[in-house]
Structure 1
Amino acid sequence: MLTASPTVAFAAPEAQCANPSGTYTGGVPWGQRLVDPARLWPLTRGAGQLVAVIGTGVDGQNTQFAPGQLEGGGGTEATDCDGRGTIAAGIVGAQPDPSTTFAGVAPGAHLLPIRYTQANGSSNDGGDPGALAGAIDTAVDRHAGVILVAVPAAFDSPALSGAVARARAQGAVVVSAATATQQGARTYPTATSGALGVGSVNQAGEPVQTEAGDYVGVAAPGAELVSTSAGAGGAVAHRWPVTDPGLAAAYVAGVAALVRAYHPNLTGDQVVTRLTLTAHRPPSGAHDPRLGWGVLDAYAAVSSTLPADVAPPGSAVAPAPEPAVIPAAAPARPASDVAAGTIALAGVALAAAAGVTVAAVRRARARGWRPSRFTP
């Protein structure tokens, strides 16, 4: 449960623009406890990685971003009237700060804000797919290794699918959330070949979004979240509680940056394989149209020992022995951070198995490459 904290004074926001709830001083937010990035920071904080945050811009005056962490130029934007870009960017890379328990997943990464749409806080709709394609091309030109589409488009276009294909060819990981609110609707590039589609869950592990499809690869927290706010006016400022399926993609993008930093020789496709292969499987053990291959497991994705060329889950190839998953040792989690609902308990169980070589697991790829550490 999120705990209210005192609201502090900030500069008056622009009319119709997003403004902070205050400075968050409650307990560690559940989504952050689930992903548990601090457990991986002794291994990597994402240094050397550039994450493009494509959406509504990012408020550079929020001081939970380090000086120089937001890169400018080339069509980037360091202001954010709408607010969604700043929230997503904070989940990816906000710095730990003594004034708050909230911190981003990869605080060592640099962020490249690129605005392609601006709704002034009045709508959750995405923008023009052609403009989004141009934003992705800008991110590729700036050599972003991870491209987070914080605000997907409601429609596809040849330009958008072409931009995703170019990004993939250059080795970038394109991450986009499933955010459609109408049954049967799709968002893009979430549903575009070559992008990693992300579903979202609440604290009970239940899907948040309506959108579903075989293109959803993994799920992450997307409800009752805390993150950085636009309109900070030179302070550390937050918005909470925020429920937005699009924010699940920000958690995945942050973990992708950690994976890239710790495994610099992996291709973008190999990073995606790690994220999906190590996820906590849905109850069925198979792909779920709203949860993908399961809920993101940052610890396993970064630290597990896997062959670089291991096949992704669901791959239509002949069955072969599966690799043992060997998590690297990491510091124990403080007792106060234990228990973030049903999903978090699974994460604690995994952490307890750190450093133990897991026996070879089920052979059938049709079962989703589920490691034996998840088998009762």
Structure 2
Amino acid sequence: MTRRAPLAAAACAALGAGLLIGVPPASAQCAAPAGVYREAMGWAQRLTDASGTWPVADGTGQLLAVVGTGIDAANDQFGPGQVVPGSDLGDCDGRGTFAAGIVGARPDPATAFAGMAPGARLLGIRYTETRSGGGDPDPDALAGAIRRATDAGATVILVAVPAPRTSPALEDAVRDALTGNALVVSPAVGDKPGTRSYPTGLPGVVAVGALDPSGAAVQDESGPHLSIAAPGADLTGLSAGARGGLGHRWGVDGPAFSAAYVAGAAVLVRSYRPELSAEQVAERLARTASHPPNGHDPRLGWGVLNVGAAVAAELPDDPSALRLPDAPAPPVATVRPAAGPAPLPDHAPLPGWLALLGVAAAALAVVARTTVRLGKARGWRPGSRSRDRSS
């Protein structure tokens, strides 16, 4: 079992709409690595492992905006120039760097941890800082950050730190981002059932729930607005404060980070299928999810993210709308292995209905072969990925 890195009690406390990874503001210190992660691939990374799609879709040509606390580009798993000019560099809080690493960390032989879309370019936008203390994230400041991401040409906007309330400015900024064909992904981190975080609760936003290794939802927010679920407990990722070397934190519980996994999958889909609109990508993520037994779940949405199917599955031409709740989800074409699934590498198998996703993880090599075949059928050639809108 993976050992959890020690965290100060105050550093583990939820602050605003996210998880403070650094240390309390009163200490005037910032996030720092627990070390270099040298253990086997953690459960969340195994569940969302996208390395089999990299021959045809590794995020190249896509610009991901991480809206929250900035990005500390001085972690060696970010490639040279991967964090683009114009980013808010430095991240005392640590949440922006952790989320960005889930998506874009490049493979390194010194660690099993890697991001889902290492070819993506990253734009870090800071609109809140926990080290300054005081109050909830401001929705108007968040609106300005989303507008900045839209103006920069981000194809996927990951809201790493949502706000607890909305505002006309935030609603207008999200509407304009969607009109501009940017996909907005935001976690559900409301502090009790029936509450919504924002822009998570706004129309058109991919609203993400969080689950633990048992398959149970870990966030309190619930409702018909939830689209999909992804890991949000016992996570491994990049740490701010690495000062040019490698640095990680692990054993991190943070429901807000679930959105980073979904954003990573969205980047891959947009990389491989640049002809799809943001709305079509959002629908594809929901339709290819591994559905819970009773259809839509108020805390897990249409089910758990299935990265291989989201990228490689060929869906029916008639995508009939997803229906809420008590109605069956539309049929989905999935990529299945020719033989029974191999066991997941390392650790115990995932329990409950979540174990169905082991098929996707264990069959990733098959998904990769199928993806390559589909890519060739679509006229793909090495290096023929879509052009970055930010260039």
| TM-score of the two chains, using structure 2 as the length reference | 0.81
Return closer, same or farther for 1:325/1:225 CA change in 2, 3 Å cut-off. Answer: closer
Q: Deviations over 1:287-312 (max 9, x none)?
A: 11100000000010000012566234
Residues 93-112 of structure 1: pairs in structure 2 closer than 5 A: 93-112=104-123
8 A contact 2:287–2:332 mirrored in 1: no
Is 1:245 aligned to residue 255 of structure 2?
yes
Return closer, same or farther for 1:344/1:95 CA change in 2, 3 Å cut-off. Answer: farther
Return closer, same or farther for 1:213/1:181 CA change in 2, 3 Å cut-off. Answer: same
- 1:111 deviates by 0.5
- 1:36 deviates by 1.4
Return closer, same or farther for 1:327/1:68 CA change in 2, 3 Å cut-off. Answer: farther
Amino acid paired to 2:322: P
Q: Distance in 2 between matches of 1:151 and 1:96?
A: 26
- 1:344 deviates by 6.1
Partner of 2:297: 288
Return closer, same or farther for 1:101/1:326 CA change in 2, 3 Å cut-off. Answer: closer
Return closer, same or farther for 1:257/1:338 CA change in 2, 3 Å cut-off. Answer: farther
Partner of 1:367: none
Amino acid paired to 2:209: G
Is 1:36 aligned to residue 49 of structure 2?
yes
2:210 counterpart (174, 197, 200): 200
Is 1:45 aligned to residue 58 of structure 2?
yes
Q: Distance in 1 between matches of 2:237 and 2:193?
A: 28
- 1:349 deviates by 2.4
Amino acid paired to 1:158: P
Q: Deviations over 1:306-333 (max 9, x none)?
A: 25662342189xx99956445699xx98
2:312 counterpart (303, 315, 337): 303
| Gaps in structure 1 of 5+ consecutive residues | 7-12, 358-376
1:158 counterpart (134, 146, 168): 168
Greater shift after overlay, 40-49 or 207-216?
A: 40-49
Return closer, same or farther for 1:326/1:204 CA change in 2, 3 Å cut-off. Answer: closer
Partner of 1:226: 236
Percent identity over paired residues? 50
Amino acid paired to 2:282: V
- 1:15 deviates by 3.0
Amino acid paired to 2:279: D
SS at match of 2:185: strand
SS at match of 2:98: helix
Q: Distance in 2 between matches of 1:177 and 1:206?
A: 16
- 1:85 deviates by 0.5
Amino acid paired to 2:300: L
- 1:282 deviates by 1.2
Q: Distance in 1 between matches of 2:265 and 2:190?
A: 23
Amino acid paired to 1:90: G
| TM-score of the two chains, using structure 1 as the length reference | 0.84
SS at match of 1:302: helix
Return closer, same or farther for 1:322/1:199 CA change in 2, 3 Å cut-off. Answer: closer
Is 1:116 aligned to residue 140 of structure 2?
no
SS at match of 1:226: strand
| Gaps in structure 2 of 5+ consecutive residues | 7-22, 371-391
Partner of 1:64: 77
Return closer, same or farther for 1:154/1:4 CA change in 2, 3 Å cut-off. Answer: closer
Residues 311-326 of structure 1: pairs in structure 2 closer than 5 A: 311-314=320-323, 322=331, 324-326=333-335
Return closer, same or farther for 1:320/1:99 CA change in 2, 3 Å cut-off. Answer: closer
Q: Deviations over 1:8-62 (max 9, x none)?
A: xxxxx99331111111111101100001111222331111110000000010111
Partner of 2:90: 79
